[in-house]
Amino acid sequence: TSVEVYFSFAAAADGSEIVNGKKVPDGKMPYMVSVQNGKGHICGGFLYNEEFVITAAHCDVEKPSHVVLGSNNLNNNKTMRFKIKKCKHEDYTKTTSGNDIMLLQLSNKVEQIKLPESGTNVSPNTKCTVAGWGKTKSDGEQVKELQMVEVSVINLNQCRMVWKKYKGNIPNNVASFCLQGDSGGPLVCGGMAVGIVSFNYKYNCNYPNLPNVYTDVSKYIDWINKTVKQKKCK
């Protein structure tokens, strides 16, 4: 199965905040989810419908047990916590082989974000947004307040050339956004979650000009709908 991902450039991370990024006001991006285990935040995610969250399959290695939502500040005592059941894509083995997508079934129902139609393409230069609670530099600590940055989709061939310089093997499309440690969060274009943060070069924020990889949500709409209908997450 081919890897389905997007290409774009974004700001790199430096210091306590994302360069050219900003904190997200509370009440904005209510679809954002913090995927957590007993130690705290491990991945980002976003609401698909009132009962399911979409995140990256590779986040399962950290053994997520619940999700937190309802506030952009993870220290806010008004956040809501939900236990989860997991539906990882059956063909997922590793990030670079694709299918890096997982559904989390919530113990209670909430509000969601729109998804693109199956096969939707995002044109080059489209302005999109990435948000998360991940690290703002490779050796830094995770932030507690939701951060966001605007990115622009770039040409596929341009991205391939950039990765080739680092001997990277990237199929199809890629996106660049360096918020290390916040895999699973959405790439939002026109109010729709079109991508899922998957992986970057050597899990390192020190390559700001090297695009990171996002799973193309539109290629998995059928799988999402089938999995949601079956409700067999474990």
Which residues are annotated as catalytic?
A: 58, 100, 183
- The token duo for 192 is 């729709």
**Whole-number Å distance between alpha carbons of 176 and 28:** 23
Contact 35, 104 (CB under 8 A): yes
Helix (H) or strand (E) holding 222: helix 221-230
**Whole-number Å distance between alpha carbons of 145 and 74:** 6
b/e sequence 189-214, b meaning 16+ C-beta within 10 Å: beebbbbbbbbbbeeebebeebbbbb
Spatial CA neighbour of 66 closest among 107, 126, 17: 107
Type of residue at 25: P
Distances (CA, A) of 27 to 13, 21, 79: 24, 18, 12
